[in-house]
Amino acid sequence: MYFRTASPATSDDTEGRDEATDRPYDVDLMTDIGKRKQDHIDLCATEDVGFRTKTTLFEQVRLVHDAMPDLHWDDVDTTLSLFGKTLRAPLFIAAMTGGTEEAGRINRELASIANERGYGFGLGSQRAMMKRPESTSSFAIRDVAKDVLLLGNVGVVQAREAGPEALRALVTAVGADALCVHMNPSMELVQPDGDRDFRGGIETMRELVRTLPCPVIAKETGAGLSRGVARRLFGAGVRHVDVSGAGGTSWVAVETKRAASANDEPSRALGEALWDWGIPTAASVLEVSTVGFETVIATGGVKTGTEVAKAIVLGASAAGVARPVLVALREGGRAGAMMALDRIERELRAVMLLTGAKSVAELRKVRRIVTGELAAWASSADAAT
């Protein structure tokens, strides 16, 4: 098995030993990963870490009302088949966390909710699992969500360094149905200890698509995918993407808050400058939707059933919701999270009925009117096809 087991360390130790290789590794680095994950949970749940001026641009999509839909409420079919599993609605509880005890509790609660409701579920970055094998339990959800469509998650930089065999073990360890390989250069640049070498990403994706036994999903982390990047990914054999666009949680903002707390002025200043960096989620869906991907997941600031519907009309296969569910869980427990998801699903069903869409496939064909800045993105995307 690839994952390392930490050797006991005294309070004075700065190194543990990898039992597989007998090589030392940095215990302080592992501790820092856990602290960073806990900071992420706390900041996302309690702080203002949204984009300041940039929105998802879903507000600039108008869906045309059908006053005579010729449908019964019960006739509306929200089900969707993805990666060999049937979802009750085109909805994921999107990747958020992992690597700490609290993260484990959150993952297990939300994964069991996704399993019960018939949604997909995404794990947060499993980098902690690769560096700190004792954190594996925080990603282990199959015992409470045996049927859920589960997406694993690792950074493309870590994937490049670890190689396909390690990632195969990562997928197997959690029983993932597909692996998200995320790109987050803007976030990393604001982290004092973040990655700085982003070379070889396309080659890494090509190798993973060729060698892994499960689908590979190329995923951004709050800054969106452009048409150019989408084409490069498609050329490398990638057939599934998660745009994770701008307009919801700004992960640059999260790291900026962390830098401010640590009195790291250079990182804080860079974060302030890049706080609103990224492609709005709706624009990113437009950018990638005609490239030819089999699956386009729209995450990044999606909060309502109407926005899920708009994402699908723009070309997404499904949408993911993250922070609103985390906040609802923290404030109202399992019942609060269930209530928030029920509102989203009921609103999606209502919008489908009111646009005359009996199925998700019909929803994709619903007439849309695009206004404002998003219209410029649409024109640019059309010109680039």
CATH number at residue 45: 3.20.20.70
The predicted structure's pLDDT at residue 261: 87
**Domain contains 205:** yes
Q: Is residue 6 part of a domain?
A: no
Say if 22 falls within a structural domain.
no
- Is the residue at 21 inside a domain? no
**How much is the average pLDDT of 337-365?**
98
Q: What's the mean per-residue pLDDT of the chain? A: 88
Give the integer Cα–Cα distance in Å for 298 and 275.
21
Is 356 within the bounds of a domain?
yes
Instruction: Specify if 274 maps to a domain.
Output: yes
The answer to whether the beta carbons of residues 177 and 145 sit under 8 Å apart is no
Strand partners, 154: 181
Token representation of residue 337: 């999270």
Q: Count how many Cα atoms sit within 13 Å of the Cα of residue 117 in the half-sphere of its side chain.
A: 27
Displacement of CA 150 from its chain's centroid (Å): 12
Asked which of 41-45, 85-89, 227-231, 321-325 is least confident by mean pLDDT, the reply is 41-45
Tokens of 190: 């604001």
User: In which band, very low, low, confident or very high, does the pLDDT at 203 lie, cut at 50, 70 and 90?
Assistant: very high
Alpha carbons 346 and 247: distance in angstroms, whole number: 23
Could you tell me which residue, 108 or 11, shows the higher pLDDT? 108
Joined together, the tokens standing for residue 255 give 């790291």
Q: What residues form DSSP beta bridges with 77?
A: 359
Q: What are residue 207's phi and psi, to 5 degrees?
A: -65, -40
Would you state the pLDDT for residue 342? 98
On whether residue 4 sits in a domain, the answer given is no
User: What secondary structure letter does DSSP report for 364?
Assistant: T
Average pLDDT over residues 143-163: 96
Distance (Å, whole) CA 356 – CA 324: 28
Instruction: Domain of residue 326: give its range.
Output: 35-384
pLDDT average, residue stretch 72-92:
97
Q: Which of 40-54, 109-123, 210-224, 318-332 has the least mean pLDDT?
A: 40-54
Please say whether the beta carbons of 125 and 103 come within 8 A.
no
What is the number of alpha carbons within 13 Å of residue 165 lying toward its C-beta? 3
Pairing of strands 216-220, 240-242: parallel
Between these two residues, 254 and 92, which has the higher pLDDT value?
A: 92
Q: Which candidate, 92, 83, 30, 1, places its Cα nearest to that of 345?
A: 92
Tokens encoding 258? 């962390």
Q: Is 19 a domain residue?
A: no
User: Is pLDDT above 70 for 281?
Assistant: yes
pLDDT greater at residue 186 or residue 7: 186
Question: Are 125 and 26 contacting, i.e. CB atoms less than 8 angstroms apart?
Answer: no
377 pLDDT above the threshold of 50: yes
Read off the pLDDT of each residue in 321-336 and give the average, rounded to a whole number.
Answer: 95
Of 42 and 296, which is predicted with more confidence? 296
SS3 37: helix
Is the pLDDT score of 374 beyond 70? yes
Q: What is the pLDDT of residues 9-43, one digit of tens each?
A: 333 333 444 333 343 434 444 455 555 555 555 55
Structure confidence at residue 145 as a pLDDT band (50, 70, 90): very high
Total domains in the chain come to 1
Of the candidate ranges 16-20, 154-158, 229-233, 361-365, the one whose mean pLDDT is the lowest: 16-20
- Asked if the model's pLDDT at residue 96 lies above 60, the reply is yes
Which residues, 6 or more positions from 362, have their beta carbon under 8 angstroms from its beta carbon?
352, 356
Task: State the amino acid at position 219 in one-letter form.
Answer: K
